[in-house]
């Protein structure tokens, strides 16, 4: 990328060359490398690499690499446009890999230079894998200490490093817009708490974090989510009534195996409780019911044994091996000064839910077997082979009580950044009512509340959703 000459404190020396960019008023040097660009149909994609501190407070030494893609259209390549940072869902998932100009990204690129940042520990940003975590951090204590630096507060501070280096000072005073999906919306609220001065406007889709004023609302989150998942199970079996008997048969077969499940080629143990986790992808996203039905009907082969087709499908629905941060830090996204203590498991054992989510008990009693939703359990570090080495570290993180703050309620109450959110009333992943408890603390947040979409709205109808949120945040749609 050519030197734009907009700021004497911001220097670029071309592709494939390290650049030292002054990124803040304290004149801290940050290594910024541009590593070339390429085209996909309708888009130009430019790659950037930044070196950022592992611990932005400076208490823990070390640095990590942050990978960013800057996306624009050919017609806008030389135009001066505002920047839009997209923060994806998770935790622990990399940014989208654009293959063409389509969906929300095409719409956004008509008005912005879009920044796709692999959040720390994902994709090409010093990715945490099931292999390298144990290789570089030998003990559970060291692993837990390292992983504690991979939450929303660190992600936002990473984004600030990128913004101050990438966005010219004469482009909206160096500020950018923000679009956060799901966990990316949680990060958006952290951004509004930590560094609102860096934002022009903020959009959220299915991502208003629950009860940000509480130290750890995880118990409330899972009670609400288990109830929502019960409703979605009922709808699923209404759509596919024949699957009641199909799933009962599968559960009975798995429970009768010598290990209480079937050992898969990956080393995973397919147990009834592991089968229930198919609800994570099958119940809460557009098209999920259909995909779940077609997967289940492949379970048995002609000899009434497990069909390799099902095994391959089941494994492809699991992200534990490729995205371990999702399991290791999932409950920690709710914590700021209190431990989660395996909230999903504890709540599941409460009287309201224990019998309902007992797969074997339901099959024996002739009741529909309920799938679970977005919950991470301690037994996953037994049943899923890739996670087994990290069970001790996961237990340490579950008991960790001294998490730092993720949100500043006073800052949110004094917010002046225009904010708009698409809030999905029947969202399986982010509870509507608990989101409203947060909305009351965010000054000026405007909501589009709808039951038209599931959590995957931005994937299913991103053009309409992004257009509407931009209209809301810019007051071209006036809501009573």
pTM higher than 0.85? yes
Instruction: Catalytic residue, from 154, 165, 182, 456: name it.
Output: 182
Active site residue 126: no
- Under 8 Å between Cβ of 69 and 115: yes
**Ramachandran class of 408: left when φ > 0, alpha when ψ lies in -120 to 50, beta otherwise:** beta
Strand, helix or coil for residue 445 = strand
Active site residue 455: yes
pLDDT in tens, the chain (480 residues): 333 333 333 333 333 323 233 344 444 467 899 989 999 999 999 999 999 999 999 999 999 999 999 999 999 999 999 999 999 999 999 999 999 999 999 999 999 999 999 999 999 999 999 999 999 999 999 999 999 999 999 999 999 999 999 999 999 999 999 999 999 999 999 999 999 999 999 999 999 999 999 999 999 999 999 999 999 999 999 999 999 999 999 999 999 999 999 999 999 999 999 999 999 999 999 999 999 999 999 999 999 999 999 999 999 999 999 999 999 999 999 999 999 999 999 999 999 999 999 999 999 999 999 999 999 999 999 999 999 999 999 999 999 999 999 999 999 999 999 999 999 999 999 999 999 999 999 999 999 999 999 999 999 999 999 999 999 999 887 765
Nearest-5° Cα angle at 118, 114 to 123: 135
Cα atoms in the Cβ-side hemisphere of radius 13 Å centred on 377: 17
- Under 8 Å between Cβ of 448 and 472: yes
Active site residue 153: no
Pairing of strands 43-53, 63-72: antiparallel
In 3D, which of 79, 163, 151 has the Cα closest to residue 121? 151
Q: Is the peptide bond before 91 cis (omega within 30 degrees of 0)?
A: yes
Instruction: Catalytic residue, from 25, 26, 303, 402: name it.
Output: 402
In 3D, which of 372, 115, 360, 355 has the Cα closest to residue 226? 372
Rounded Cα distance between 202 and 359, Å, is 42
In 3D, which of 454, 457, 459 has the Cα closest to residue 231? 454
């Amino acid at each position: 990328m050519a030197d734009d000459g907009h700021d004497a404190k911001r220097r670029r020396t071309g592709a494939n060359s390290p650049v030292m960019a002054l990124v803040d008023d304290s004149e801290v040097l940050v290594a910024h490398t541009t590593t070339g660009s390429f085209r996909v149909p309708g888009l130009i994609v430019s790659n950037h690499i930044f070196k950022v501190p592992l611990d932005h407070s400076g208490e823990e030494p070390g640095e990590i690499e942050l990978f960013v893609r800057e996306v624009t259209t050919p017609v806008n390549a030389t135009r001066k446009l505002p920047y839009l940072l997209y923060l994806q869902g998770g935790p622990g998932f990399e940014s989208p890999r654009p293959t063409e100009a389509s969906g929300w990204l095409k719409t956004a690129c008509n008005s912005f230079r879009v920044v796709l940042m692999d959040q720390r520990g994902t994709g090409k940003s010093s990715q945490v894998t099931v292999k390298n975590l144990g290789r570089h951090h030998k003990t559970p204590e060291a692993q837990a200490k390292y992983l504690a630096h991979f939450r929303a507060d660190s992600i936002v501070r990473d984004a600030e490093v990128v913004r101050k280096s990438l966005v010219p000072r004469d482009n909206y005073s160096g500020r950018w817009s923000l679009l956060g999906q799901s966990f990316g919306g949680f990060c958006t609220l952290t951004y509004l708490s930590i560094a609102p001065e860096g934002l022009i406007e903020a959009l959220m889709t299915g991502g208003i974090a629950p009860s940000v004023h509480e130290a750890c609302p995880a118990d409330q989150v899972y009670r609400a989510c288990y109830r929502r998942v019960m409703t979605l199970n009922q709808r699923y079996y209404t759509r596919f009534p024949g699957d009641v008997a199909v799933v009962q048969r599968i559960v009975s077969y798995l429970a009768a195996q010598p290990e209480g499940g079937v050992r898969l080629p990956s080393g995973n143990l397919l147990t009834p409780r592991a089968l229930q986790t198919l609800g994570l992808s099958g119940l809460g996203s557009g098209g999920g019911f259909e995909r779940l039905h077609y997967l289940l009907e492949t379970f048995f082969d002609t000899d009434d044994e497990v069909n390799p087709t099902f095994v391959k499908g089941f494994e492809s629905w699991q992200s534990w091996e490729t995205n371990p941060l999702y399991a290791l830090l999932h409950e920690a996204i709710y914590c700021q000064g209190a431990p989660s203590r395996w909230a999903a498991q504890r709540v599941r054992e409460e009287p309201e839910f224990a019998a309902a989510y007992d797969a074997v008990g339901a099959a024996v009693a002739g009741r529909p077997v309920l799938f679970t939703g977005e919950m991470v359990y301690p037994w996953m570090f037994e049943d899923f082979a890739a996670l087994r080495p990290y069970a001790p570290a996961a237990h340490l993180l579950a008991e960790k009580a001294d998490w730092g703050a993720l949100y500043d309620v006073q800052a949110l109450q004094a917010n002046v950044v225009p904010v708009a959110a698409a809030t999905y009333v029947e969202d399986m992943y982010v509870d509507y009512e608990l989101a409203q408890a947060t909305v009351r603390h965010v000054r000026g947040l405007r909501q589009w509340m709808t039951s038209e979409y599931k959590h995957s709205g931005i994937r299913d109808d991103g053009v309409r959703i992004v257009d509407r949120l931009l209209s809301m945040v810019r007051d071209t749609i006036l809501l009573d």
